[in-house]
Every structure is written in structure tokens, then in C-alpha cells.
Amino acid sequence: MEEKKSIRQIIYHEYVKFALLPIVIVAFILMLMYFVIIYYVEGLLKETLLEEAKFNITEVTSREVKNINLMIEQIMAYAEIIQNENERLFTTPEAFGLTNGMPLFDVAENGVTYKTIDNGGASVWYSNLTPMNDVTLNKAIKTEAMDPIFKNILEADDKIVGIYFNSYDSMNRYYPFLEAVYNVFEPNMDIPNFNFYYLADEHHNKSRKPVWTDVYLDPAGQGWMASCIVPIYNHEHFLEGVTGIDITIESIVNNILDLKLPWGASAFLVAPNGVILAMPETVEDIFEIKELRNQVYSETIKQDTLKPEIFNLFKNKDPQIAFQIETFFNSGSEIGDFEVSGKSYFLTKSIISETGWSLLVLVDKSIIQEPVVAIDKVGKQLGVTAFIIMFLFYMVFLSYLLFKTKRVANNISGPIIHVADKTSEMIYNLQSVNFESEDTEIKEIYLLNENFNTMAKALSDAYNELENKVKQRTMELTKMYDNLQEVNEELKSANLQLIHQEKMASIGQLAAGVAHEINNPMGFIISNIALLQEYIAKLIKYMKSMEIAFDRFENTAITQEIISVIKADMSALKKKLEIEYIQNDVDDLLVETLEGTNRVKTIVHELRVFSRSEAEKTLADMNIALDNVINMIWSELKYKVEIIKDYGEISLTYCHVDQLKQVFINILLNAAHAIQENGTITLKTYEQEQKIIIVISDTGKGIPDLIISKIFDPFFTTKETGEGTGLGLSISYEIIKSHEGSISVVSKEGEGTTFTLSFPIVTVENQKNPKS
């Protein structure tokens, strides 16, 4: 029981709760609001800075993409100029002269034809796959006319590192001049198999416009680069070759490094397939990839050499990076979030329309939020300082208030405590309480003393009167309870007697049929015994005849003739007495007789078990109980009813099995009486939700709707007077109810009736207090 508090404690605690505590709570709420506002403002500042950063980075990226596009467009314009001039050269070669004079050619030891002297133009290299003859030599000389425009365009743009023409028969003209060009390329290099050629052919470039290659390792020794290439067709629309303009990755990287981006942002260039084309060192550190700015050539290039797979962000060694980048590319968004190595970044993307390349920019969110972090730090310091000052102030203030509170509580509680002490005496001596008034200046306390004296006397009188009434009422209730117990026992006895009487009535109803069932087997048992008696007499006569025959020749030597005489006599007698027929028929007579006696024994046993009264519940199988009932009432069923059994596997249950058999008999007999000529009764059993379900259906005449609700009423019957008591279904209902079950009926006139019985399975564990 909770310990009670004194009035002094209550006044003190309530004052603290409703006066001092609210002050502390208000102070705490104010401090909490301060920090919440700081947190909220910090969040707004962060969101504002992030949105501003997104906008600025997007704008800067868009501007830089426009600049890169202008650079790309300029190089593509150069490529188109070269394309027009070179196609004009192959269409009207007589319109062009040799500005740098007649070139000199020779064949190297590796079979490569090459231009021997730098005459101010391009170097020339012919694969040893192409035999040198007048036609190929003439082409090498004729294409010298390309060198002036190559030179002018290269000198006009410092981002261009080389311009070349590759022919369909593997001739390479490269400006500026390459010394010892016969050792630069693989001697048997088949140029149309390289991407800087076939990406511009008819199959890959039907529009014949400038196209860009992926980043590849230049066979001419210029390192990693990308080429803007255009096809060169003659006047017969034959692809003479491909002209290309080279830009090294290093020059692209330098352009990316030169970008002035806010918040320490880093830009990098990515191809549509996810390969990084160019990136600064900051991006190298983030992705842990080193850019290939320079290439050491240990041997000539034999095939397309693209950037290694490590540069493909879609296949990055970190699956999280690969997933984020590929998802961002597929989303079509211009800006998104990116996380790597525990750091968060903004990632923006702008597409270079002419090449399909994407300029990506990474911005570290922590750098953007540095001003907010600084403001937050100052705000928290101010908040902590204010909290300490407020805490010290309230400690002094609360100490003073607590002191004053104790004084007020003592002044109020002193007189009331004196009154409480006096009232405690009433617990032990209610009849003679002597309450003296306490001298006090408090008006309310004085009135309390006076009123208490009056109340104490009235309470004592009422207490004595109430005690007498309680004693009298208790005696009356005890007598009523004893009477109810007697009535309850009488009702139980009457109910059991009624069930037993109904059981006996059922046995009486079955008596004629049972007698017929017993008389039939008893008839053929008596007949068989009489026949067996006749058979035994003949067998005895036959055996005595055999003894006489053998005695006649007892002192005579047995000869074959004597044996023949005995056999003839015995055979005649055996035929006369029908011994062989008797031998064959005896077994059948005995089997029939045993079957008849077992049938009578079964019927008598079932009736004896059914007629006895059960004191306690027993463990029973409802399928077996149904079969026992059918055996008992078979004489009422067999001439017009076909029994269909659909028994399921059901558990044994503790029950008054003979009472339940009485229910089955009542329902089955009613079903048989409802079938006027021939019909079926279907018995179905199964378990459901720890209950046994028994369904008994017949194809009888059914129950009219007007009376179906009355069939369980006591003494209700549709039979003629003297044929039924009207208690069968009523008692069945009570029996099922006593087993904590339910019984329901569905019927349709002219089609039949179905009774459904349901009662719980009672096991040894849950039948400690079985209901009777």
C-alpha cells in the first residue's frame, strides 16, 4: 500500500510542483527553444547555401560546357574545311600543285615505304601490306598538296597536336613531320582496322559529318588522345580515306584544370560509356585513379588501345561508386548527391552536344557548409554560457523559495496535524471518542473541531445499527444459499433421470426391431444345431459299423479278399448315410452358427452398454460410437435407408459417450422416419479448430420453415399421440450443451435435413474438472 503523506509534505510538495517547478520548466523550455531555433536557423542556412551552390555550380558548368562546345565546334569546323579541300584534291588533282617541291621516298628494311626528307610538310608512311608501284607512289606524291592546309590549321589552334590522312590502302600522312617514321608504326599495320579510321567509314558514319573517337593510344607516339575524324570521298563516292585532327588528353586535362570553379569544385570529362576522358588530380584522389597524361612507348601499337577498364566509372572497383554514377547517368538529372569514402558531394552533369561527352563537377558539401558550421559553433557557445548563468541564478532563487515554502507549510499544517492525531483514535474506539477542541486562531480549523464532535456521535450510533442489520441479513442469505443448493441437486437428479428415461424410451422404441434382429440369427442357429445332431447320429452309426466289420475278422488272417469285402461293405454304408456330404456341410453349418451367435452377442452388448448410466466421462472415439448406434438401430434402417459414411481422422475425447449415443439415436431415428420410401443418410466427421464436427444429413421430407425454430422445445412433436414424447431433440440439445458444444439444423422441404454437431476435444490435460 502506498505510504500516505502528511499535510505538511503535501503543502510543501504541491507548492514546489505548481509554483517552483513551472518556473524551472519555463526556463528549460526557453533554453530548449533557443537551441531549437539555432538548429532550425542552421538548417535553413545549410539549405540556402546548398541551393545557392547547386544553382551556381549548374550555371558555371553550363557556361564551361558552352566553352568546350565552342572548342569542339571549332575543331569540327577545321575538320570540315580539311574534308572539303581533300575531297576536292581527289576530284580535281590538277588544280593543286606541290608547294614544298617533289618529295623523295625509299623502302625501309621492314618493307615500309616512307618519305625520306622533311621538306616542310607531313611525313608519309606506307604499310608493307601495300606493294609500292606507280599508282601508290603517285598517290603519295599527289597528297603532298594536303600539307599546306594541315600546317595552317595546326598553327591556328594550340590545342591541336597533329593532323593526318589515312588511306584505305594503309598510307598515313601525318603533320608535323615524324622522323624515322618507318619505326613509328607497326610495319604490317592495317589502318582500316583502327578506330580512328573505321568510325568514319560508310558503316559507322552514314552522314559523313565529323565524328569523335574514344580516347585511344596514338600509334604515332603522341600518347593518349581523341580524334575528330571525317571521311574523304572522291567524285565517284569511293572512300579514299579518313582525315583526322588529334587533341591529346593532356591538353584536355589542362583545360579542365584551368576552370575557375567556386567552393573548390572539381570538373572532369566522361564519355557516354562511362570512361573518364580527362580529370584533374583532385578527382584522381577521389576515385583513386591516376590520369594517363604521358605514355612510354616500349614497342609499336598493333591494335586499338583504348583507356583501361579502371577508367570506366560504370565498372569501378567500388560497387557503390559504380551504382551511384550509372544511376545518375540513367536518371537524366543535371544534379544529384554522391557519396564516397564517407564524404558527401554534389554531382552536376552537362552534356557536350557535339560529342555526347559529359562535363561532371564534384562539390564537397562540407566546404559549402563551413560558414554555417562556424555560426553554429558560436551559437552553441553562447547557448552554453547563457545556460550556465541561468542555472546559477535559478539555484539561488529556488533555494530562497524553498526556505519560504517550508515556513508557510508549517504554519498551515500544525493545527491540522493535531486534528489528524485525534481522529486516529476513532479507529480503535469509535463508540467513545472524546475529541477536545484545539485552541487555534484559524477559523476553519475551529469549525472542523466542532463539526467533528457532532459527526463522531452520529457515526457511532449508525455503526451499531448497521452492524445489527448486517448480522440479520447474513443469516437470511445463508439460509437462501442452502435452499438453492438443494434445488440445484434436485434439478441435476431430475435431468439425469429424464435422460435415462428417454434412453429407455428409445430402447422400447427399438424393441420390436431388436427382437427381429435377434430372432433371425437364433432361427437358423437352432435349425443348424438340429441338423448337426442328425449328422452326428449318422457319423456314430458309421463308426460303429466299422468296429463290427473289423471285430468279425478279429481271429482270422487278413487277406486281400477280406479287405475287399470290408471296403465294399463300408463304401455301401458310407453312400447310404451320405458321409461325404456331411463332411462338406459341417464346416459351413458351424461358420453360420458362430456368425449368428456373434450377431446376437453384439446386439445384446450394445443395448446393455447403452442402457447403463455413466458416472464419469470416458475416452471415446466418435466414429466407433456412430457405428455402435447404427448396429443397435439397424433394424429400423436396413429396409429403406442406405448409410453413407465419410469419417475423418478425429481425436479421442473425454465425454459421456452413452449420452452422445442417445443424441445420435434420436437424430438417426428421426431421419429414418422422415424417409418415406428409400433414401440415404450421410454421416460425416472431421476436426476443425480443436473441435469435433459431426454432420448427419438425410434425404427425407424435410422440416417446414414454420416449425424448424421449435424442434428443440420440450414436448414439441409432429408425430401422432402416443408415437413420441417430444423430448428427444430437447434432451439432445441439453446433452450437447453440457459438453460445451452446439447443435444446428438446416432443412428444406422435399429435399432433406442436415444436423451439425460441434463440441470441443477434451484431452487428459484439460479435463481436470470435467463437467457432468
- Cβ atoms within 10 A of the Cβ of 560, count? 7
Q: What nine digits make up the cell of 64?
A: 564551361
* Residue 16 pLDDT greater than 70, yes or no: no
Q: Which residue has the cell 437470511?
A: 476
* Residue 268 pLDDT greater than 90, yes or no: no
Q: Does residue 66 come out as left (phi exceeding 0), alpha (psi in the -120 to 50 range) or beta?
A: alpha
pLDDT at 260: 67
Do 212 and 227 contact (CB within 8 A), yes or no? yes
* Residue 284 pLDDT greater than 70, yes or no: yes
* Residue 407 pLDDT greater than 70, yes or no: no
In 3D, which of 431, 425, 420 has the Cα closest to residue 464? 431
pLDDT at 360: 85
Q: Which residues pair with 340 in a beta bridge?
A: 343
Question: pLDDT band at residue 344, thresholds of 50, 70 and 90?
Answer: confident
In 3D, which of 53, 69, 70, 161 has the Cα closest to residue 358? 69
450 versus 183: the higher-pLDDT residue is: 183
* Residue 608 pLDDT greater than 60, yes or no: no
Q: For the residues of 51-64, what is the DSSP string, one character each?
A: HHHHHHHHHHHHHH
In 3D, which of 292, 301, 303, 313 has the Cα closest to residue 224? 292
* Residue 215 pLDDT greater than 50, yes or no: yes
CA distance 219 to 187: 12
Question: How far out from the chain centre does Cα 175 lie?
Answer: 68
Instruction: Report phi then psi at 57, rounded to 5.
Output: -65, -40
pLDDT tens sequence across 27-39: 778 777 867 777 6
CA distance 429 to 672: 80
Do 657 and 619 contact (CB within 8 A), yes or no? no
Q: In terms of DSSP H, where are the helices of 332-369?
A: 365-368
What domains lie within the chain, and their CATH numbers? Answer: 97-187 (no CATH), 445-605 (no CATH), 615-760 (3.30.565.10)
Identity of the amino acid at 154: L
CA distance 750 to 375: 92
The pTM for the full model equals 0.43
Do 199 and 213 contact (CB within 8 A), yes or no? yes
298 versus 650: the higher-pLDDT residue is: 650
Dihedral sign (CA 280, 281, 286, 288): positive
Q: For the residues of 201-226, what is the DSSP string, one character each?
A: STTT-TT---EEPPPEEETTTTEEEE
pLDDT at 125: 93
Pairing mode, strands 641-647 and 679-687: parallel
Pairing mode, strands 113-115 and 123-126: antiparallel
* Residue 754 pLDDT greater than 90, yes or no: yes
CA distance 164 to 197: 11
Q: For the residues of 505-573, what is the DSSP string, one character each?
A: HHHHHHHHHHHHHHHHHHHHHHHHHHHHHHHHHHHHHHHHHHHHHHHHTTTS---HHHHHHHHHHHHHH
* Residue 699 pLDDT greater than 70, yes or no: yes
Average pLDDT score over residue span 462-474: 70
Element (H, E) at 390: helix 370-424
Q: Please state, rounded to an integer, the average pLDDT across all residues of the chain.
A: 78
Burial label, 422 (beta-carbon count in 10 A; 0-12, 13-18, 19+): middle
* Residue 621 pLDDT greater than 60, yes or no: yes
CA distance 662 to 660: 5
Q: How many helices (H) and strands (E) does the chain have?
A: 17, 21
* Residue 461 pLDDT greater than 70, yes or no: no
Burial label, 581 (beta-carbon count in 10 A; 0-12, 13-18, 19+): exposed
pLDDT at 686: 96
Q: What nine digits make up the cell of 734?
A: 441439453
Q: Which residues pair with 107 in a beta bridge?
A: 113
